[in-house]
């Protein structure tokens, strides 16, 4: 889908962080552990933003006690030192650190696993809306050496490449001989996401010959210097490599473009999280979450190369493959960069959708579109009965309408397109969940 961004931006403004926060007499004010994707640069940048928002002076980063660890340090006006520790060793280490009381906040580039949820139940429900905080959207880019002539790969081919079943570029219609596979390490949420979206879905393990990296930057640089290399990486770390377009099932080929990742249509898009235990009494942890969700925090997200959860209006170019009614909608209206999705096996909005409701309502209100200027468009996964799929997709749109009406938004129309225009393969639960979505269009 070719999208032209109109840059009608709006970032929700959450309540200002209370100031000043209490400073502990000893030790760090906040300990963050987990994802390398977040902890390498984004997490420290958000921490710096919070500390400056708190009025701290001389805010700067220092090396921590080990590799991929750092301390962000600032001083109060009274000269008292405030330190926040950030360790970035992979998403799973964040949840382990919460359990062992070595962290106050877990950073994760994947959702918490059921086993981790059970393991941490003494800290409260980490799947509750207050605990599970989506802070940004990222896209896993599949990267090649810039001299590689291939421009498109599908997820089935990716599974075969990274499993080792396909071992030469010639087998894919390219040139270059043997394929050299590069991958993140086992502690990485980036690897967990790739494994879930590509490998495990097809029952394939990663090839034992893959070269593994703890550092995203080092992996990307290795691929960009290897004409036979291929790897997967978080969007900000493409650097000098070449990203290719990805196809999943019957989806259109999609590059990891900002607009496609913001809506989570891109097949290898993912959410980045902070997990704040409900049992937490650390005011800095809550303050960082609130700051991150606000306009200043989301501006930092965007400045660090990730996709901020801002609401933008985008024009969608009509294509012959689209249903006629959808083409008409694309000609007359603009789509918002939000897709509402639902909890698994439920008609309830998921945690990100609950956050996005506030942003969408604020955007609609600020642009004077409260009265019949919004159309909701539902989609679903394939069913044996196309009419049932169409009905279910419309019911999802109606569920979103009910929530919007509570905030004073009177939609113009709701539509259901059933299983048409899939953005993911319907052969796995994850793909079906992704296809069950509601788009928001404004006139």
Are 316 and 432 found together in one domain?
A: yes
- The residue out of 199, 231, 259 marking a domain boundary is 259
Are 290 and 372 found together in one domain?
A: no
Strands 105-108 and 30-34: parallel
Q: What is the pLDDT of residue 187?
A: 86
Domain that holds residue 403: 311-442
Q: What residues pair up with 271 in beta bridges, in sequence order? A: 137
- Sole residue written with tokens 């109109």: 6
Q: Say how many domains are in the chain.
A: 3
The answer to whether residue 17 is domain-embedded is yes
Are 379 and 419 found together in one domain?
A: yes
Are 338 and 427 found together in one domain?
A: yes
334: Cα within 13 Å, side-chain hemisphere: 18
Reference 29, options 292, 286, 313; nearest CA is 286
- Report the alpha-carbon distance of residue 168 to residue 371 in Å, rounded: 57
- CATH number assigned to the domain comprising residue 184: 3.40.190.10
E-strand stretches of 214-286: 229-234, 242-243, 245-247, 269-275
Reference 360, options 409, 327, 395, 393; nearest CA is 409
- Report the alpha-carbon distance of residue 139 to residue 125 in Å, rounded: 27
How many other C-beta atoms can be found within 10 angstroms of the C-beta atom of residue 315?
Answer: 15
* Cβ contact 223:215 at 8 Å: no
Are 339 and 297 found together in one domain?
A: no
Fill in the DSSP letter of residue 40: I
CA 319, 323, 328, 334 torsion: positive or negative?
negative
Q: What is the pLDDT of residue 11?
A: 43
Are 123 and 156 found together in one domain?
A: no
pLDDT tens per residue, range 69-84:
999 999 999 999 999 9
Q: What is the pLDDT of residue 9?
A: 42
* Cβ contact 115:270 at 8 Å: no
Low-confidence stretches of the chain (pLDDT < 50) are 1-17
- The residue out of 259, 289, 319 marking a domain boundary is 259
The answer to whether residue 222 is domain-embedded is yes
The answer to whether residue 1 is domain-embedded is no
How many other C-beta atoms can be found within 10 angstroms of the C-beta atom of residue 204?
Answer: 17
Are 335 and 281 found together in one domain?
A: no
Q: What is the pLDDT of residue 96?
A: 98
CA 87, 92, 98, 102 torsion: positive or negative?
negative
- CATH number assigned to the domain comprising residue 401: 3.30.1330.60
Are 331 and 418 found together in one domain?
A: yes
The answer to whether residue 4 is domain-embedded is no
The answer to whether residue 6 is domain-embedded is no
Name, in order, each residue with C-beta under 8 angstroms of 266's C-beta and a sequence gap of 6 or more.
Answer: 139, 246, 254, 255, 256, 257, 260, 423
- Report the alpha-carbon distance of residue 12 to residue 403 in Å, rounded: 17
Give the DSSP H or E segment for 434. helix 429-435
Are 246 and 152 found together in one domain?
A: yes
The answer to whether residue 2 is domain-embedded is no
Are 370 and 388 found together in one domain?
A: yes
Are 286 and 237 found together in one domain?
A: no
Are 297 and 181 found together in one domain?
A: no
The answer to whether residue 5 is domain-embedded is no
- Report the alpha-carbon distance of residue 255 to residue 48 in Å, rounded: 32
Q: What is the pLDDT of residue 430?
A: 78
pTM: 0.84
Name, in order, each residue with C-beta under 8 angstroms of 269's C-beta and a sequence gap of 6 or more.
Answer: 137, 138, 139, 140, 256, 260, 261
The answer to whether residue 70 is domain-embedded is yes
* Cβ contact 256:235 at 8 Å: yes
pLDDT tens per residue, range 187-202:
888 898 899 889 988 8
């Amino acid at each position: 889908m070719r999208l032209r961004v109109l840059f009608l931006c709006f970032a929700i403004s959450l309540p200002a962080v209370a100031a000043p926060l209490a400073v502990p007499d000893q030790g760090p004010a906040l300990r963050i552990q987990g994802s390398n994707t977040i902890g390498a640069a984004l997490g420290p940048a958000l921490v710096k933003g919070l500390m400056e928002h708190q009025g701290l002076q001389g805010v700067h980063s220092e090396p921590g006690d080990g590799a991929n660890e750092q301390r962000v340090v600032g001083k109060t006006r009274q000269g008292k030192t405030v330190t926040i520790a950030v360790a970035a060793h992979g998403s799973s280490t964040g949840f382990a650190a919460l359990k062992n009381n070595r962290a106050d906040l877990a950073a994760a580039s994947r959702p918490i696993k059921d086993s981790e949820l059970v393991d941490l139940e003494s800290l409260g429900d980490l799947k509750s809306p207050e605990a599970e905080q989506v802070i940004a959207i990222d896209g896993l880019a599949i990267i090649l050496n810039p001299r590689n002539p291939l421009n498109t790969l599908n997820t089935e081919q990716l599974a075969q490449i990274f499993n080792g079943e396909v071992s030469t570029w010639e087998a894919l219609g390219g040139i270059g001989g043997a394929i050299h596979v590069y991958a993140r390490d086992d502690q990485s949420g980036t690897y967990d996401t790739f494994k879930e979206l590509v490998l495990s879905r097809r029952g394939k393990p990663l090839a034992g010959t893959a070269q593994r990296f703890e550092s995203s930057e080092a992996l990307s640089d290795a691929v960009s210097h290897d004409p036979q290399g291929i790897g997967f990486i978080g969007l900000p770390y493409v650097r000098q490599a070449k990203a290719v377009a990805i196809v999943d099932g019957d989806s259109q080929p999609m590059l990891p473009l900002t607009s496609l990742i913001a809506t989570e249509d891109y097949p290898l898009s993912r959410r980045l999280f902070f997990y704040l235990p409900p049992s937490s009494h650390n005011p800095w942890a809550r303050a960082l979450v609130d700051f991150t969700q606000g306009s200043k925090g989301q501006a930092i997200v965007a400045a660090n190369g990730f996709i901020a959860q801002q609401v933008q209006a985008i024009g969608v170019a009509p294509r012959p493959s689209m249903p006629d009614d959808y083409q008409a909608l694309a000609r007359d209206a603009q789509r918002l960069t939000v897709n509402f999705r639902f909890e698994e096996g439920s008609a309830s909005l998921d945690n990100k959708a609950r956050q996005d409701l506030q942003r969408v309502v604020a955007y609609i209100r600020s642009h004077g579109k409260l009265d019949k200027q919004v159309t909701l468009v539902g989609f679903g996964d394939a069913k044996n009965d196309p009419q049932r799929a169409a009905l279910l997709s419309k019911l999802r749109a109606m569920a979103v309408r009910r929530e919007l009406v509570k905030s004073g938004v009177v939609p113009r129309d709701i539509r259901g397109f059933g299983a048409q225009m899939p953005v993911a393969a319907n052969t796995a639960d994850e793909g079906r969940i992704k296809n069950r979505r509601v788009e928001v269009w404004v006139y």
